[in-house]
A and B are shown apart, each in its own frame.
Chain A
Amino acid sequence: MELNKEQRTLELLKEKFEDQILQIESPYNLLTIHLRAEKIVEVIQFLYSNEETQYQYLTTLCGIHYPDNNEIAVMYQLHNLPVNHRIRLKIFLPIENPSTPTITTIFSAANWLERETFDFYGVIFSGHPNLKRILNVEDMIIHPLRKEYPLEDQRREDKVDSFFGR
């Protein structure tokens, strides 16, 4: 039954947003769809309001930095509570200008989650009502979860662990 639901969701998405879908996979039984960034709000709105999909619960939203591709991904995870099906959507933004429209218009819960993503990755959510830092201090100038910021000072000399291949 769950599989049918998943196939139906995919069919509907393919029908409507064929050109937006980059890749479909299902790691560890969680349907993951990579999308183009332009129409992400429309896709989420469609999944939210379509009678057959009803993904009306935003489980979580976060950023991921892929330094090899110079990209910042934003991951949206939605949950269809009536039939208990989860879906994960990922969009990829260029690191020079990571900007995407906000989904606070659909989910109130996205407010702080987007602020957190802005805080740690510098993703600009255009149209967000109050896009400022949330967990870090306001006068911080970097976005600390990006991979170029190492956790420890790389110039430290008292701690050599090259013996262990690191």
Chain B
Amino acid sequence: MEALKTIEPKIDQEEKQYSYLNLGPTHPATHGIFQNVLKMDGEVIIDAEPTIGYIHRAFEKLAERRPFYQITPITDRMNYCSSPINNIGWHMTVEKLLGVEVPKRVQYLRVIIMELARITDHLVCNAVIGVDTGALTGFVYLFQQREHVYEIYEEICGARLTTNLGRIGGFERDFSPKAWAKIDKFITEFPPILKEFEKLLVRNRIFMDRTIGVGGITAERALNYSFSGPNLRAAGVDYDVRAMNPYSSYEDFNFIVPVGTNGDTYDRFMVRQEEMWQSLSIIKQAISKLPEGPFHATVPDFYLPPKEDVYNNMEALIYHFKIVMGETDVPKGEVYHSVEGGNGELGFYLISDGGRTPFRLHLRRPCFIYYQAYPEMIKGSMLSDAILTMSSMNVIAGELDA
């Protein structure tokens, strides 16, 4: 509310009059609830003051009162464009704390899901960059494909957007034949459409003029701002958690980590575009090399037993009760685990004191960390470029505010 009062023009020392513009909190072009008070000299941005926290939901506090398995739905609501990555990242953190080794098949299935999620995340971001340059066609065309991925999620876990996918130790059920058919259909139908989308924009004169050299950042500044994910790679640093600290058997797959040179909007677009192709390749490799085996680890203390057993089997009933009531023992310790989320390094810093809930859970949200560079990136550019910079950074309000 403080910011709204500053709209009246102020006279600067040099007797130059600047105008102040409130971009947000709810502005259709920002794709989320963020406020930026822009100090403008005509059409040029002199300074920006971001205000965040409009959808803060106190996830870190909530997590301190919930048993581990109930924290998964909280992670859904961070980066809701790729919730399965958040879910699986959280499961892997708990597994690391408990020392659970999950079967190879689970790891491969997780890779398939996480790469599908990465595709949807990048797809939404790139399609929206198109919209902000005035090309609505690609957006409408690609959203159909996102729908197909959501149908795959639906087949696997029953939900579409906030997936709550999987369990600590694996999956709640194996992929059904219908799910496999949908995955096969997607990976055959999607490449030509992605190719067509690329043809619409990549060498498009208008698109290039609008994006090249817009919202750039150097590799040094990006590292100093702790950028991660496609935004860092667009600046030319090949830091990818999947390659650097492989988790969930990423070391078994061949993929390249695309990097850009200028760190501008065009590079970010191109890096995401290439990552979608790499993700498709990883999915194909994972399907062809998929090992046989169980779809969950044998951790009865944490993995809910099937419902039939709960009704007919004493042990399963006891485990079910203990899990639901949070009566199982957890080791004490501090663990940090990170995965490559849609936007970068998504980290979970978990301190367990042996109780049913975490003593402390800190979420390293990539958006929160890199969005603070936004004022620096838009200084001296036009208002319309600021919109493009924001959408190409892929700032997701849910992840930003936690």
Interface pair A113/B369, CB less than 8 Å apart: yes
Q: Are B349 and A60 neighbours in the complex by a CB distance under 8 Å?
A: yes
Per-residue 0/1 for A141-166: is the Cβ within 8 Å of any B Cβ (1 yes, 0 no)? 00011000001100000000000100
Q: List the A residue with the shortest CB-CB distance to B335.
A: A28
Nearest residue, chain B, Cβ from A110 = B226
Minimum C-beta distance from A68 to chain B (A) = 10
Chain A minimum-CB-distance residue to B368: A112
In the complex formed, the residue of A with least CB distance to B226 is A109
B-side contacts of A133, CB under 8 Å:
53
- Is B336 within 8 A of A62, CB to CB? no
Residues of chain B within 8 A (CB-CB) of A152 are 65
Interface 9-mer from A3-11, A37-45, A80-88: A80-88
Residue B312 at the chain A interface, CB threshold 8 Å: no
Say whether, besides A28-B96, A84-B244, A86-B336, A57 and B369 are in contact (CB < 8 Å). Answer: no
Give the contacting residue for B364; candidates A59, A88, A107; CB below 8 A: A59
Proximity string of chain B (349-361) to chain A, C-beta cutoff 8 Å, 1 when within and 0 when not? 1010000000010
Output the nearest chain A residue to B65 by Cβ-Cβ distance.
A151
B135 nearest CB across to chain A (Å): 33
- Chain B, residues 41-62, CB within 8 Å of chain A (1/0): the string is 0000000000011001010111
| B53–A144 touching, CB < 8 Å | no
Of the candidates A60, A64, A77, A86, the one whose C-beta lies within 8 Å of that of B360 is: A64
- On chain B, the residues within 8 Å of A135 by CB distance are 52-53, 56, 401-402
Cβ–Cβ < 8 Å partners of A58 in chain B: 226
8 Å CB contact of B372 from A86, A109, A151: A109
Chain B: CB-nearest residue to A30: B336
Q: In whole angstroms, how far apart are the Cα atoms of A136 and B333 in the complex? A: 29
A81 to B65 alpha-carbon distance, docked (Å): 35
Q: How far is A86 from B334 in the complex, measured between Cα atoms in Å?
A: 14
Q: With an 8 A cutoff between CB atoms, is B2 at the interface? A: yes
Answer yes or no: A19 CB below 8 A from chain B CBs: no
Q: Across the interface, do B56 and A136 meet the contact criterion of CB distance under 8 Å? A: yes
Q: Which residues of B contact A120 (CB under 8 A)?
A: 60
Q: A60-B364, A109-B226, A134-B53 are in contact. Are A28 and B58 (CB under 8 A)?
A: no
- B317-351 CB mask vs A (1 if < 8 Å, else 0) is 00000000101000001111010000001010101
Q: Which residues of A contact B360 (CB under 8 A)?
A: 64-65
Interface residue? B245 (CB, 8 A): yes
Indicate if A108 sits at the interface (CB-CB under 8 A): yes
Q: Is the CB of B369 within 8 A of A81?
A: no
Given the complex of chains A and B, what is the CA–CA distance between A61 and B345 in angstroms?
14
- Cα A164 to Cα B334 with chains together (Å): 26
CB-nearest residue of chain A to B239: A81
Q: List 12 A-B contacts (CB under 8 A).
A: A28-B97, A30-B334, A32-B334, A59-B347, A60-B362, A88-B334, A108-B224, A109-B226, A120-B60, A135-B56, A135-B402, A151-B64
Residues of A within 8 A of B (CB): 27-28, 30, 32, 56-60, 62, 64-65, 75, 77, 81, 84, 86, 88, 107-109, 111-113, 116, 120, 133-138, 144-145, 151-152, 164
- Interface size on B (CB < 8 Å)? 42
What separation, in Å, do the CA atoms of A64 and B12 have in the docked complex? Answer: 43
Chain A neighbourhood of B33, CB < 8 A: none
CB A91 to nearest CB in B, in angstroms, measures 15
Structural contact, A107 and B336, CB atoms closer than 8 A: no
**Complex contacts, B239 vs chain A, CB 8 Å:** 57, 81
Say whether A64 contacts B351, CB under 8 Å.
Answer: yes
Partner of A109, one of B65, B347, B369: B369
Most chain B Cβ neighbours within 10 Å, of A109, A116, A164: A109
Most buried by B among A59, A60, A107: A60
New A-B pairs, 6, CB < 8 Å, besides A59-B347, A112-B368, A151-B62: A28-B96, A30-B334, A107-B224, A109-B226, A135-B402, A164-B327
Are the C-beta atoms of A108 and B61 separated by less than 8 Å? no
A137–B55 CA distance with the chains assembled, in angstroms? 11
Closest 9 CB pairs of A and B: A109-B226, A135-B53, A62-B362, A60-B364, A135-B56, A112-B372, A151-B65, A28-B335, A108-B224
The listed residue (A27, A62, A138, A164) touching B333 by CB distance below 8 A is A27
Which residues of chain B have C-beta atoms less than 8 A from A81's C-beta?
A: 223, 237, 239, 244
Q: Is B226 in contact with A134, judged by CB distance below 8 angstroms?
A: no
CB distance from B236 to the nearest CB of A (A): 13
User: Chain B: which residue is nearest A113 at the CB level?
Assistant: B369
B2/A145 in contact, CB under 8 A: no
Q: Which of A107, A136, A138 sits near B226, CB closer than 8 Å? A: A107
Contact B56 A108 (CB under 8 A): no
Instruction: Report B99 CB to chain A, min CB distance, Å.
Output: 9
